[in-house]
């Protein structure tokens, strides 16, 4: 047999899939502060559009997404707390059960390489399936949700505007939510003004920034994102039990690489003064506790980051109480008050 | 003309490129035919029934309550080694309490005498992680995907096994996935299967499900989620990669 030209063309067509289409240009509509980057990253299949973002915002605040129509994304991700919730572990889900990890703030998500504390979610689109289907979060049946949206007074219209080709589908729903969340950009703190305009930080805050770099914080919490978006072990634990499907393995739960045991995503420190409690299990209530952890309580393990080793091999970052307090003063200068009050991020119902 | 447009549109869809690379347009091949791939689930060579106890050669008593897996990336090869990769071939095969789906009719197969079939169990890395890019039957709403580690569950086997220590039938579940466990199966045929516009090709394979438990210690590994090469999940994946054999072939005049 020989393949007909058709058959071959089809194979060639599949190979041509590999080179990427030209990236969409959302830049003009959704500008990025220059100290964060030049473009707002988004996958080619889901470029940002005004209608898509608007739909995503409506969905983010709408409890229709949950099985009992009472829980929205904003039940756990509250704008006034930089989209965190202030709790150690949330009980705001449909079941009321305690979640196993702390709710992170949602800041500059577009740049992240993996979502969740362990990066288990590949992209923002895929991430949405997590809360949507989890029994202790929104516990939603996806085909029921599609039906509810189809019967809704304004969603059919909004979906068609945002996705003219096929309107209401679950992939479009997760794409709209991803689009909205990519617009949650925070870079208007006193620090940012300082970087962009040359002034904005007090001399005390500048001393703190200096220490932030000297004491190695900046090696992982790299300015101006205040994270390098990698996964690291900052010495919280020395044992990593396997229960709850290896939850305590952190990044290794996803990569299955023992070298990743106990590693978690380096979180951004933007707005950190208002996103307490801290770490993936929210074990620290205050920034003072966090800093004292780095000074005195780093736990030894095979995977603890080498940044924390002193010359003699022991663990810890040495600083005086005064230096610690100066670093905290600097961290507070990373607060971007406009992020918490920006009406473009707020509940659209609340505005009407 | 309309037919041509329909073909152009469907080609674009199938190539997954809506909006770009429009120069790879082609026309439908009027000579093409169909190819039916069926996988019979058997246990010790007898048709598998759910909730019926079987005993493996190694003496393990088990029954299934469900068996589900993605069959993907089907490629048909002829004697000269030319191959046809079935576009968007991602199919959910399953035997569950609500029914049996173990067959797919592939259309648009170029005419030829096919001597080999290759397919994979699971989902390739390029399509495994973004749960909103759905090709073929891939769907993140059918309980065959994870969101905590976004990706598809390649194979899901659930049921009960006889636990000798506790002297009772205990539950087992194997939810296998992760890129490491993506396995490709090569089937070569003794004869060939004719496909053209008047002949539909047909291949029936057996999946010997007892083999899933080869070298497994179910008293320890009765709850598997995820998978790396060197773990019980890896062993089971090797097992499913080798459990397929040809039951019958044919070519039926339309």
CATH at residue A133: 1.10.760.10
Residues A157 and A33 in one domain: yes
A109 contacts: CB under 8 Å, gap ≥ 6: A115, A124, A181, A182, A184
pLDDT of B18 strictly over 60: no
B169 contacts: CB under 8 Å, gap ≥ 6: B53, B61, B63, B160, B161, B162, B163
How does residue A26 score in pLDDT terms, banded at 50, 70 and 90? low
pLDDT of A23 strictly over 90: no
pLDDT of A10 strictly over 70: no
ipTM higher than the 0.90 cut: no
Residues A33 and A121 in one domain: yes
Residues A60 and A113 in one domain: yes
DSSP-derived pairing of the beta strands B112-121 and B61-78: antiparallel
Residue B199 forms beta bridges with which residues? B196, B253
Q: How many CB atoms lie within 10 A of CB A44?
A: 12
Nearest chain B CA: its distance from A169 CA (Å): 10
Which position has the token pair 């399936």?
A: A129
Residues A16 and A139 in one domain: yes
pLDDT at A3: 41
Query: How many residues does this entry show for chain B?
Result: 254
Residues A36 and A177 in one domain: yes
Q: Which residue of B has its CA nearest to A170?
A: B132
Beta strands in B51-198 (DSSP E): 54-55, 61-78, 83-85, 90-96, 99-101, 103-109, 112-121, 145-146, 151-163, 168-177, 183-195
Contact between chains at B82 and A1 (C-beta distance less than 8 A): yes
Out of A14, A123, A142, closest to residue B85 by CB: A14
Out of B28, B130, B134, closest to residue A123 by CB: B130
Span A56-84, mean pLDDT?
A: 97
What is the tens place of the pLDDT at every residue in A50-59? Answer: 999 999 999 9
pLDDT of A294 strictly over 90: yes
Q: Domain residues of chain B, as ranges?
A: 28-253
Residues A21 and A104 in one domain: yes
Domain count along chain A: 2
Q: How far is Cα B161 from Cα B168, in angstroms, rounded to an integer? A: 8
Contacts of B114 in chain A (CB under 8 A): 1
Residues A208 and A323 in one domain: yes
Q: How much of chain B exceeds pLDDT 90, in percent?
A: 80
Nearest chain B CA: its distance from A323 CA (Å): 39
**What is the overall mean pLDDT for chain B?**
90
Residues A171 and A242 in one domain: no
Nearest chain A CA: its distance from B73 CA (Å): 12
- ω into A341 cis (within 30 of 0): no
Residues A146 and A198 in one domain: no
Model pTM score: 0.90
Out of A9, A143, A175, closest to residue B132 by CB: A175
Q: Is residue A168 within 8 Å of A146, Cβ to Cβ?
A: yes
User: Which residue, A124, A131, A114, A77, is CA-closest to A275?
Assistant: A77
Contact between chains at B130 and A13 (C-beta distance less than 8 A): no
Residues A214 and A331 in one domain: yes
Contact between chains at A2 and B24 (C-beta distance less than 8 A): no
Out of B82, B129, B151, closest to residue A2 by CB: B82
Residues A33 and A160 in one domain: yes
What is the tens place of the pLDDT at every residue in B65-74? Answer: 999 999 999 9
Lowest average pLDDT, out of A172-181, A287-296, B5-14, B53-62, goes to B5-14
What is the tens place of the pLDDT at every residue in B133-179? Answer: 889 999 999 999 999 999 999 999 999 999 988 999 999 999 999 99
Domain encompassing residue A49: 5-186+339-350
Contact between chains at B132 and A253 (C-beta distance less than 8 A): no
What is the tens place of the pLDDT at every residue in A168-210? Answer: 999 999 999 999 999 999 999 999 999 999 999 999 999 999 9
pLDDT at B227: 82
Rounded to the nearest 5°, which phi and psi values hold at B65? -105, -25
Span A4-33, mean pLDDT?
A: 50
């Amino acid at each position: 047999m020989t393949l007909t030209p058709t058959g071959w063309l089809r194979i060639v067509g599949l190979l041509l899939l590999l080179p990427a289409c030209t990236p969409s240009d959302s830049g003009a509509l959704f500008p990025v502060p220059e100290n964060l980057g030049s473009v707002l990253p988004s996958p080619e299949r889901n470029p940002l559009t005004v209608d898509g973002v608007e739909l995503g915002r409506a969905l983010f605040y709408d409890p229709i997404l949950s099985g009992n129509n009472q829980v929205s994304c904003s039940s756990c991700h509250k704008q006034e707390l930089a989209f965190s919730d202030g709790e150690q572990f949330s009980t705001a889900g449909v079941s009321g059960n305690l979640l196993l990890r702390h709710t992170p703030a949602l800041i500059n998500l577009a740049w992240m390489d993996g979502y969740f504390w362990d990066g288990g979610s590949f992209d923002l689109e895929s991430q949405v399936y997590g809360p949507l289907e989890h029994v202790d979060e929104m516990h939603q049946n996806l085909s029921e949700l599609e039906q509810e949206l189809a019967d809704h007074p304004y969603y059919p219209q909004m979906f068609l505007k945002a996705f003219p080709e096929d309107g209401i589908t679950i992939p479009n729903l997760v794409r709209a939510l991803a689009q909205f969340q990519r617009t949650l950009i925070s870079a208007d703190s006193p620090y940012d003004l300082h970087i962009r305009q040359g002034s904005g930080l007090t001399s005390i805050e500048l001393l703190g920034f200096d220490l932030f770099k000297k004491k190695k914080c900046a090696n992982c919490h790299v300015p101006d994102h205040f994270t390098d978006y990698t996964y690291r072990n900052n010495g919280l634990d020395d044992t990593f039990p396997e229960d709850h499907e290896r939850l305590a393995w952190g990044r290794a739960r996803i990569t299955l690489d023992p070298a990743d045991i106990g590693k978690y995503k380096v979180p951004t420190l933007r707005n950190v003064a208002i996103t307490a409690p801290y770490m993936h299990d929210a074990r620290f209530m205050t920034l003072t506790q966090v800093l004292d952890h780095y000074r005195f309580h780093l736990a030894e393990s095979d995977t603890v980051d080498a940044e924390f080793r002193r010359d003699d091999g022991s663990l810890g970052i040495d600083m005086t109480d005064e230096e610690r307090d100066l670093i905290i003063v600097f961290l507070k200068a990373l607060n971007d008050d406009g992020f918490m009050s920006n009406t473009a991020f707020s509940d659209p119902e609340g505005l009407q | 003309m309309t037919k041509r447009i329909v073909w152009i549109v469907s080609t674009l869809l199938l190539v997954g490129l809506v909006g770009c690379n429009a120069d790879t347009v082609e026309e439908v091949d009027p000579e093409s035919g169909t190819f039916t791939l069926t996988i019979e689930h058997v246990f010790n060579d007898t048709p598998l029934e759910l909730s019926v106890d079987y005993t493996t050669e190694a003496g393990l008593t088990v029954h299934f309550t469900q068996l589900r897996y993605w069959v993907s990336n089907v490629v048909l090869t002829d004697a000269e080694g030319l191959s046809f990769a079935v576009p968007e071939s991602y199919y959910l095969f399953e035997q569950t309490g609500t029914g049996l789906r173990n067959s797919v009719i592939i259309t648009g197969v170029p005419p030829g005498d096919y001597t080999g079939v290759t397919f994979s169990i699971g989902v390739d890395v390029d399509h495994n992680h973004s749960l909103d890019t759905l090709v073929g039957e891939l769907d993140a709403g059918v309980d065959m995907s994870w969101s905590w580690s976004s990706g598809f569950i390649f194979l899901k086997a659930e049921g009960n096994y006889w636990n000798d220590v506790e002297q009772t039938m205990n539950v087992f579940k194997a939810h296998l996935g992760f890129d490491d466990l993506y396995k490709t199966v090569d089937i070569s045929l003794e004869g060939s299967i004719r496909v053209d516009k008047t002949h539909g090709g047909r291949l029936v394979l057996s999946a010997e499900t007892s083999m899933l438990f080869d070298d497994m210690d179910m008293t320890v590994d009765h709850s598997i989620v995820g998978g790396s090469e060197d773990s019980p999940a890896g062993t089971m994946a090797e097992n499913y990669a080798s459990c397929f054999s040809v039951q019958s072939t044919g070519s039926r005049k339309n």
